[in-house]
Amino acid sequence: MKDILLIALYAFAGACAAGLLGAVVLRLLRRRSMAVVLTVVAAVAVTAMLAGTLVVAWAMFLSTHDLKVVTLVAAMAAVVSLATALLLGRWVVAGSNALTLAARSFGEGGSFAAPDGAATAELSELGRELASTSAKLAASRERERALETSRRELVAWISHDLRTPLAGLRAMSEALEDGMAADPERYFRQIRTEVDRLNTMVGDLFELSRIHAGALTLTPTRISVYDLVGDAMAGADPLAREHGVRLVGGRVESVPVEVDGKEMTRVLANLLVNAIHRTPADGTVAVDAELLAGSVVLSVTDGCGGIPEGDLERVFDTGWRGSEARTPPAGAGLGLAIVRGIVEAHEGRAAVRNVLGGCRFEVTLPAAGS
């Protein structure tokens, strides 16, 4: 028993000495290739075993023949383990090189595809992670491109929309200045209308830029949907009368919502103005508010005859307007983008769908807790 303990102690001491030496070498080579590191690890294992054996042999006075046998066995083990370590190292290095090459392609704007047959579980996990990052990067590049295009289009449309009324204002003021205007009163009225329109457009642009910059500061208060709808309908009533459109409050439940009253009134006003403008005289625009599965759904239904299916998902885009709306005095296509921006800032959703004879714009807001 004592012998066994002694052998273990000597073997441990010999192996420790080899292990310490290996640790120093590994530290010196820590930035080298995986193949080199693996070879050193295998060499350390074999040397530790050999060192242990030699120390035991020396302490126990083993015969030279026995020592030769043991050393030979250790040497054979060393050859096989070094070859295995080298092979494994080269395999891991090849896998990691393939991954580096694939990663470089997506850094340069391409998309990443993980190379087949990753050498280790960690490399295959890294490949999966890079593939998902690459997909996210591609989606964000696509979003950025779309945003840039829509921004460029918006600037072009707005410049066009501003130029037309400004040219009109200039012509009218020149005519008034030269005393050429046959009916100055009519010119003044016209100038006033154009200035109001430009003012609204600039106000909408300002609101939209605040929404896009995330600078919309909401002051939410608890309001009854009933009051919200009532105020918006009262505001739109003169326009409805002017157009001969009936404005009806359908089913309006008196549920509370926690919203910024001013901004939400603007949302309803934009929807009502759109609906009234696109409903023929004698038609009806209905406003409803219902409580559905913990959400309040505000809806404005008009008699526009329906929006072409292909246009339904574009109506909320900034600057987009239907082809029939291109002729003056068309709006700038900002109203619904503002609606969506304000509603989303309230963690709600804005949507549109066609119904019989018209379309229905729906704003879904979280109901205020009791």
Ligand X SMILES: Nc1ncnc2c1ncn2[C@@H]1O[C@H](COP(=O)(O)OP(=O)(O)OP(=O)(O)O)[C@@H](O)[C@H]1O
Contact residues for Mg ion (CB under 5 A)? 274, 331, 335
Between CA 18 and CA 27, with CA 21 as vertex, the angle to 5 degrees is: 140
Residues between 310 and 329 with contacts to ligand X, criterion CB under 6 A:
315, 320-322, 325
Which partner in Mg ion, ligand X, none is near 307 (CB below 5 to 8 A by kind)?
A: ligand X
Binding partner at 115 among Mg ion, ligand X, none, C-beta below 5 to 8 Å by kind = none
Cβ–Cβ under 8 Å, residues 341 and 272:
no
The CA-atom distances, in angstroms, between 336 and each of 135, 144, 265, 273, 330 are 31, 21, 13, 11, 14
- Segment near ligand X (CB under 6 A); pick from 115-123, 134-142, 230-238, 332-340: 332-340
Residue 304 Cβ vs ligand X, minimum distance, rounded to whole Å: 4
Q: Does 357 bind ligand X (CB under 6 A)?
A: no
278 contact, one of ligand X, Mg ion, none, CB 5-8 Å limit per kind? ligand X
Q: Which is nearer to ligand X, 266 or 321 (CB)?
A: 321
Cα angle at 10 between 6 and 12, to 5 degrees? 115
Question: CB-wise, 53 or 274, nearer to Mg ion?
Answer: 274
Is residue 85 near ligand X by the rule CB under 6 A? no
> Encoding tokens for residue 98?
């393939």
Q: Tally DSSP H helices, then E strands, for the chain.
A: 8, 7
Contacts of 199 (CB under 8 A, 6+ apart): none
Stretch that binds ligand X, among 3-11, 34-42, 187-195, 302-310 (CB under 6 A): 302-310
Residue 350: CB minimum distance to ligand X, A = 11
Q: Report whether 334 contacts 325 (CB < 8 A).
A: no
Q: Cβ distance 331 to 276 under 8 Å?
A: no
Closest to Mg ion by CB, 321 or 346 = 321
Q: What's the CA gap between 136 and 156, in Å, rounded?
A: 30
How far apart CA 344 and CA 342 sit, in angstroms, is 6
Near ligand X in 191-210, by CB under 6 A:
204
Please identify, using beta-carbon distances, which residue of 117 and 329 lies nearer to Mg ion.
329
For residues 298 and 265, give the distance between their C-alpha atoms in angstroms, rounded to a whole number: 12
Residue 10 tokens read as 């000597």
How far apart (Å, rounded) are the C-alpha atoms in residues 264 and 223? 10
CB of 248 to Mg ion, least distance (A): 20
The listed partner (Mg ion, ligand X, none) that binds 334, CB under 5 to 8 Å by sort, is ligand X
Q: Token match 């491109």: residue?
A: 145
CB of 280 to ligand X, least distance (A): 12
Interface mask toward ligand X for 251-270; x: CB under 6 A: -------------------x
- Residue 165, binding choice from Mg ion, ligand X, none, Cβ under 5 to 8 Å by partner class: none
Residue 302: name its binding partner from ligand X, Mg ion, none (Cβ under 5 to 8 Å by kind).
ligand X
Q: Which of 265, 256, 147 is nearest to 212 (CA)?
A: 147
- Taking CB under 6 A as the rule, does residue 232 contact ligand X? no
Q: By CB under 6 A, is residue 288 in contact with ligand X? A: no
Rounded distance between C-alpha atoms, residue 52 and residue 42, angstroms: 16
Of the pair 16, 330, the CB lying nearest ligand X is at: 330
Site for ligand X contains 287 (CB under 6 A) = no
Number of chain positions touching ligand X (CB under 6 A): 22
**Distance (Å, whole) CA 105 – CA 267:** 46
CB of 315 to ligand X, least distance (A): 4
Strands 246-252 and 284-292: parallel
Q: Is 161 in the site for ligand X (CB under 6 A)?
A: no
Task: Tell me the residue nearest to ligand X as measured from the CB.
Answer: 331
Task: Give me 115's structure tokens.
Answer: 């190379």
Q: How far is CA 197 from CA 67, 123, 205, 241, in A?
A: 103, 61, 12, 20
Q: How far is the CB of 271 from ligand X (least distance, A)?
A: 7
Given the rule CB under 6 A, which residues bind ligand X?
204, 270, 274-275, 278, 302, 304, 307, 315, 320-322, 325, 330-337, 359
